[in-house]
Amino acid sequence: MDYKSDIVKNTIADFGYQASVFDMFFKALTTANNIERINVASFARDDALDPEVKPKLSIASTFRNKTSEEVIKQRFTKK
């Protein structure tokens, strides 16, 4: 992503929307019976991955340290 671009610099992140998208995704799968695995991951390097950095809100597209992280945790801890 071009962080110097005016479009990128002026974009306002909506982490609540990201959480809603994950929630809708998981709800859409509740009736599916042919899915063996879902891999929810972020492959981008991020401060959230660095143990030397205090936890803070990540600016990467990852779900880490954002509202959607809790949505994902709840989905995978359901019994």
Q: Any idea what DSSP says for residue 44?
A: S
State CA 17 to chain mean position distance: 10
pTM for the structure as a whole: 0.60
Q: How far apart are CA 29 and CA 34, in angstroms?
A: 10
- Residue for token digits 């205090």? 54
Residue 47 has a pLDDT of: 55
Buried b (16+ CB within 10 A) or exposed e, 13-30: eeeeebbeebbeebeeee
Confidence of residue 11 (pLDDT cuts 50, 70, 90): confident
